[in-house]
């Protein structure tokens, strides 16, 4: 353990658990320095957490509460998180290099408000609804119930750890489930702070567990574990496919929010100043480390040169540097590995024949920095136009007609996000309807509302998070038939095979 750094333990069954193995080192992306360590969870810790969650579910202490009672505890967690907002913002900056403005708004602010949304949703969600009264084939009625699945596992990536954990924890708890969360080993600290808040708010032991471990070991075990009845995963498409394979062995419910290669279409009548700012915002927010980023910019041929010139001039005004300063626009990327991946794609783009139109300066010295990068002359079939780079790299692709733009946008294995910029909203809506994407923004980007569903099509995922129906993904539907005639109605005999009907007659 590094001297002078704080050590964080896992949270299992209401207790803080450590391991004898060498801990994970938390590295500040802005300095490259270790600032904390975290317990290195193993397969046995995943098993312990699942067993704790299963016991808690079977005890019924959480699922047995009324939705209003669950909402009260969840609101108490919200209050605890709100009290620690400054600490959470600091942890986000230290863990993954996000700028302070983004940490306050997207990472922490959204997390707190979204968890409150799910608490409120617990109060309004239709956990039970009566069915119609039937007169044939027998006098009967029924009740449709939505019941908790049981043990849920949430696997969370490094880019938005707290927010994406809340997207899984919120509906899971609101529906009465118990959950095991596995953060990325590079960014577990905000989830452990979430566990502290839940513990202080009185969430029963075993209902929430946080296991810090590597995906290949702990994540794979959760995906394959026979007592886990649902996996909610956010991450790369490659890992998502493996999660699906592992989950299939015991027919788990699966929600997958995977990669993206967002196509951002500027129509000929767009307001250029707004669209230029929007194109940079779509791609460069959080240094491009968001799966729904708009990384393919599609421009009409007639606007191309003017738009690119404006784009470069605007990009030159962006400040890259210390993420703790309020005027910083771009911080570092999350790790040395991620930096090398992005730089490799920048080199690849030039080898493929694209033009490096702008390569923004990056700070010298320690830390993991990549300046804003703009490619022009990009063909739709180039790897930089097809593969998810996950960095501040914008690929500009010209098009001749709107039909061509739509075809280019849809020529991707991904379908998470897209955007259209136009002064004619009706025309933009028409284009949006033709795009193969789970979300399409018109004259905006990155505005994810908790009240609307979020997820992808094609290789960008399965299922949806957020919105009023989000609890559907965390409940099983059960129909309870109630016979009102108090006897088996003899009219059913006509509906069954004669030998079975005869047997029924003998027993009635």
291 is catalytic: yes
Question: Burial level of 206, CB count in 10 A (0-12/13-18/19+)?
Answer: buried
Q: How many other C-beta atoms are found inside a 10 Å radius of the C-beta of residue 207?
A: 26
Does residue 147 sit in helix, strand or coil?
strand
H or E element: which one contains 149? none
Query: How far is the C-alpha of 49 from the C-alpha of 90, rounded, in Å?
Result: 28
Q: List the Cα angle 275/279/306 in 5-degree steps.
A: 60
- Tell me if 259 sits within 8 A of 237, measured CB to CB: yes
Token readout for 353 is 């024949």
Q: How many other C-beta atoms are found inside a 10 Å radius of the C-beta of residue 297?
A: 32
Closest CA to 345 of 309, 292, 382: 382
Query: CA 307 → CA 155, 231, 269, 484, distances in Å?
Result: 40, 43, 12, 71
301 is catalytic: no
Query: How far is the C-alpha of 92 from the C-alpha of 24, rounded, in Å?
Result: 17
Q: What is the CA radius of gyration of the chain?
A: 26
Catalytic residue among 95, 178, 185, 257: 257
Bridge partners (DSSP) of residue 208 are 179
Catalytic residue among 95, 291, 292, 395: 291
Does residue 337 sit in helix, strand or coil?
helix
Query: How far is the C-alpha of 396 from the C-alpha of 296, rounded, in Å?
Result: 6
Does residue 37 sit in helix, strand or coil?
strand
Q: How many other C-beta atoms are found inside a 10 Å radius of the C-beta of residue 301?
A: 12
Sign of CA dihedral 266, 267, 268, 270: negative
68: which residues sit within 8 A by CB, 6+ positions away? 122, 123
Please give the positions annotated as active site: 257, 291
């Amino acid at each position: 353990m590094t001297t002078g750094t704080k050590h964080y333990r896992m949270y299992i069954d209401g207790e803080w658990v450590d391991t004898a193995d060498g801990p994970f080192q938390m590295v500040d992306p802005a300095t490259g320095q270790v600032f904390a360590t975290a317990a290195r969870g193993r397969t046995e810790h995943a098993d312990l957490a699942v067993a704790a969650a299963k016991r808690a579910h079977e005890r019924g202490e959480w699922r047995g509460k009324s939705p209003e009672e669950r909402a009260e505890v969840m609101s108490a967690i919200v209050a605890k998180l709100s009290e620690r907002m400054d600490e959470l913002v600091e942890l986000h900056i230290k863990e993954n290099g996000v700028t302070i403005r983004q940490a306050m708004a997207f990472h922490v602010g959204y997390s707190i408000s979204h968890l409150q949304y799910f608490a409120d949703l617990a109060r309004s969600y239709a956990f039970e609804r009566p069915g119609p009264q039937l007169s044939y084939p027998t006098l009967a009625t029924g009740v449709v119930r939505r019941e908790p699945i049981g043990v849920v596992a949430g696997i969370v990536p490094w880019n938005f750890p707290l927010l994406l954990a809340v997207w899984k924890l919120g509906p899971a708890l609101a529906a009465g489930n118990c959950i095991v969360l596995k953060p990325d080993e590079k960014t577990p600290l905000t989830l452990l702070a979430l566990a502290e808040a839940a513990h202080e708010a009185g969430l029963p032991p075993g209902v929430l567990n946080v296991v810090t471990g590597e995906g290949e070991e702990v994540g794979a075990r959760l995906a394959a574990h026979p007592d886990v009845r649902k996996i909610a995963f956010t991450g790369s498409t490659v890992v998502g496919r493996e999660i699906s394979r592992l989950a299939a062995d015991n027919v788990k419910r699966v929600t997958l929010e995977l990669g993206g290669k967002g196509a951002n279409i500027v129509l000929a009548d767009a307001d250029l100043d707004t669209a230029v700012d929007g194109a940079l915002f779509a791609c460069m927010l959080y240094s491009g480390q968001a799966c729904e980023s708009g990384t393919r910019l599609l421009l009409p041929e007639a606007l191309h040169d003017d738009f690119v010139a404006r784009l470069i001039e605007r990009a030159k005004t962006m400040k890259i540097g210390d993420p703790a300063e309020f005027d910083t626009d771009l911080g570092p990327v999350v790790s040395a590995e991620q930096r090398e991946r992005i730089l490799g794609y920048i080199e690849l783009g030039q080898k493929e024949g694209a033009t490096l139109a702008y390569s923004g300066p990056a700070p010298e010295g320690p830390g993991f920095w990549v300046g804003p990068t703009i490619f022009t002359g990009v063909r739709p079939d180039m790897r930089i136009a097809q593969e998810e780079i996950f960095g501040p790299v914008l690929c500009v692709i010209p098009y001749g007609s709107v039909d061509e733009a739509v075809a280019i946008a849809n020529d991707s294995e991904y379908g998470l996000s897209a955007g259209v910029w136009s002064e004619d909203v009706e025309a933009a809506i028409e284009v949006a309807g033709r795009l193969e994407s789970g979300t399409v923004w018109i004259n905006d980007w990155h505005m994810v509302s908790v009240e609307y569903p979020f997820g992808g099509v094609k290789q960008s995922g399965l299922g949806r998070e957020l919105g009023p129906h989000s609890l559907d993904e965390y409940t099983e539907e059960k129909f309870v038939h109630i016979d009102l005639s108090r006897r088996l109605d003899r009219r059913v005999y006509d509906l069954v095979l004669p030998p079975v009907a005869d047997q029924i007659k003998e027993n009635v």
